[in-house]
Amino acid sequence: MALILNGKELSQTLRAEIAQQVADFIQKTGVTPCLAAILVGDDPASQVYVRNKEKACAAVGMKSQLFRLPAETTEAQLLELVDQLNRDDSVHGILCQLPLPKHIPEKVILDAISADKDVDAFHPTNVGLILQGRPRFLPCTPFGIQEMLKRYGIETSGKHVVVLGRSDIVGKPMAAMMVQRGAGADSTVTVCHSRTKDLASITSQADILIVAIGKPKFVTAEMVKDGAVVVDVGINRTDAGLVGDVDFAAVEPKASAITPVPGGVGPLTITMLLGNTLKAANYKLGLN
């Protein structure tokens, strides 16, 4: 039987650690870390995510601010709000919930958020720092995956990591992080995507397979080698409920360790966002 990598339990452990660090920070500085979230429009999934982020902030002793804007908000109006938050010294982290309405270019908004407050690590400056191995912040989902591998004692040094998916949010930063020197990294990394030929021949070489392709049950048992560690980032809503990008029932008997969906990677994403917000508050006061 594969070891189940329980992101829900690990998330609770990490949040308890962050809550203690926040309490120590407030006692030392008199400042409460604050995360500002911007939600444009009424996408139901985005509303849930933002509400969960508010609750998570409160649970670890942080402040949060939520700015709800109508779907017809213009690019100029949104940029004005971002500028206001950039200049607000009481705000340490800023996130703009994606997706944005089609008339607002996402890159323009993400580039406008101050790199010092970019707790999602989407700003080009922060992406560049990650590539150079000296990150200011790490993007929340890959950060959670790396922390999970470390906390569960899964060896990554010298291992072949195959990342399935090349998004800016998960695939590309995950590959960039796993190839760096240091704990939870030092891996040999291959990135696969929709144009990869003979995909199964590559995924079946992976010691650690990280799947973020957005297709329900896409990875089958034939695509996974015996004893591999399988990390499933996918969350797909189907008639049968939430499923990942990996066919869990088929792959679990072959894997040495595997994340479930739900309850695997998902809970860690918001947790790492809290950690990044605390880090941003430390940066603001010159404590890092």
- Active-site positions read 53, 97, 120
The closest of 209, 222, 284, 215 to 253, measured between CA atoms, is 222
- What does DSSP assign to residue 226? T
Count of CB atoms within 10 A of residue 48's CB?
10
Q: Minimal CA–CA distance to 91: which of 62, 124, 59? A: 62
Task: Answer for the pair 79, 67: CB distance below 8 angstroms, yes or no.
Answer: no
Contacts of 203-207 with C-beta under 8 Å, sequence gap 24+, read 203/162, 203/164, 205/160, 205/162, 206/160, 206/161, 206/162, 207/159, 207/160, 207/161
Give the C-alpha separation, 16 to 124, whole Å: 31
Q: Which DSSP category does 245 fall into?
A: S
Q: How far apart are CA 8 and CA 263, in angstroms?
A: 5
Q: What residues form DSSP beta bridges with 257? A: 3, 229
The DSSP bridge pattern shows strands 63-69 and 3-4 to be: unpaired
Interacting residues of 80 by C-beta distance below 8 A, sequence separation 6+: none
